[in-house]
Structure 1
Amino acid sequence: TTILVSHSLSQIRRMCNKVLWLDKGKQIAFGETEEICDRYEEFLAAKKVSRR
């Protein structure tokens, strides 16, 4: 088992088969890389829209 800490979704997609998404120390999601990365990208897009 290797633990990779990264904000680079491309690196995560290349290197990981499972992802744990944390926010402020709390678990948001855990699962398959593509599913969790897609959810995280949707979260970032929604956050960006709400700032406008």
Structure 2
Amino acid sequence: MDERRPGYGLGLSILAQLIARYSGHSRFERSPLGGLRVTVTLPLAVEVIN
């Protein structure tokens, strides 16, 4: 990441859409090294009910 060139802020929006689409979960917390730690959990498989 280059601090001289800021992003467009789309990363978390795209991440939220993917998590919702695949029934996942996310956790945001302060990293002990500084910054933000994001943990994303997605299911290995999606059960299809007919």
TM-score, normalised relative to structure 1: 0.32
Higher helix share: 1
Query: Which structure has the larger Rg?
Result: 2
TM-score, normalised relative to structure 2: 0.33
